Amino acid sequence: MIQKLFFYASPQNFYPLAGKLWPLFACLATGLTVWGLWLGMFVAPTDFQQGQGYRIIFVHVPVSWMSMVIYLAMAFWALLGLTFNTRLSGMMTKALAPTGAIFAFLSLWTGALWGKPMWGAWWVWDARLTSELILFFLYLGHIALTNAIDDPRRADKAGGILALVGALNVPVIYFSVKWWNTLHQGASVSLTKGSSMAQVMLEAMLIMGVAFWMYAVAMALYRVRSIILVRERHTQWVAELPEVKAQMMKNAAGGAKA
């Protein structure tokens, strides 16, 4: 088992594995989305307090969860990379970041669209929304740092440390914002309905959560393949890939036409 793991730690071996896996995750994501949206939009009843507006939770909660899960995944790969000095770990962190940032943005966007009809304001300094905003900044900072450094190995390691420092800080930031919020008599409405949520609503929300998770994995696997190609472009195995050879022929044909 451990040997299998080390086998796939090499980009050359991971590339075809990711190639086989991402369509599976994409299918799962599509299927679960259809099921979740069916339940959420066509089966779940109207909410007593919030009318039809509550249905936003079927995207808001999943993207919020995932924005945090992805950050933890990035920290995990960062830890792996810094401990074992593997190249693939840095590539995985880089592959995960954009999806996480998009989810953090969507969490803020859908949160605002939920807040406006419910609380009357586009933005409230609720502890969770504020923490989400800070998480969004952490994502942007990570992407900015890894893009600013030219040397890929240094970028990976620096990004790794930043991801770890950020991950350790996220609980601290969350609790400090929570403290800050309660002392200032913030909104007493919670964003989740708690245990009073109807069974179907909870089910749909969870299914959508898993759907977004599968989507994030599919995106990360697809993206890491492109990263691997670029990083490993000077190797023999990349030169012999069928897609590379096909591209070379396409270029040649294009050139011949010109």
Partner 1 sequence: MIWSSWNDFWAMGGYGLYVWGSFGVTALCVALEMVWVKNARAQALTQIAHELVAETNSKEWS
Partner 2 sequence: MNAFVAIVKRDLTLALRRKNEVITSVFFFVVVAALFPLGIGPEMNTLRLVAPGILWVGALLASMLSLGRMFATDYTDGTLEQMALSPNSLSLLVAAKILAHWLLSGLPLVLLAPILGLQFDLSSNALWVLTLSLLLGTPVLSLIGAVGAALTLGVRGGDVLLSLLVLPLYVPALVFGAGAVQAEISGLGASAHLSVLAALVLVAAVFSPWASAASLRIALES
Interface ranges with partner 2 (CB under 8 A): 134, 137-138, 140-141, 144-145, 148-149, 151, 153-154, 157-158, 161-162, 165-166, 169, 172-173, 176-177, 179-180, 183
The residue (of 144 and 241) whose beta carbon lies closer to partner 2 is: 144
State phi, psi for 220 to the nearest 5 degrees. Answer: -65, -45
- Contact by Cβ (8 Å): 66, 212: yes
Only one of the segments 42-50, 157-165, 170-178, 189-197 lies at the binding site for partner 1 (rule: CB under 8 A); that segment is: 42-50
Report the nearest approach of partner 1 to the CB of residue 258 (Å): 14
Cβ within 8 Å of residue 199, ≥6 positions away: none
Could you tell which of partner 2, partner 1, none binds residue 61, using a CB distance below 5 to 8 A set by kind? Answer: none
Cβ within 8 Å of residue 174, ≥6 positions away: 127, 131
User: Using the 8-state DSSP alphabet, how is residue 184 labeled?
Assistant: T
Hey, what amino acid is at 17?
L
| Residue 49 binding partner 1, by CB under 8 A | no
Hey, what amino acid is at 171?
P
Report the nearest approach of partner 2 to the CB of residue 93 (Å): 14
Name the token pair of 225.
């393949």
Angle between helices 152-183 and 57-84 (to 10 degrees): 130
Name the token pair of 248.
């070379």
Nearest to 128 by CA among 116, 115, 141: 115
* Binding to partner 1, residues 59-118 (CB under 8 A): 59-60, 63, 98-99, 102, 105-106, 109-110, 113-114, 116-117
The residue (of 71 and 215) whose beta carbon lies closer to partner 1 is: 215
Site residues (vs partner 1, CB under 8 A): 41-46, 51-53, 55-56, 59-60, 63, 98-99, 102, 105-106, 109-110, 113-114, 116-117, 215, 219, 222-223, 225-226, 229-230, 233, 238-239, 243-244, 247-248, 250-252
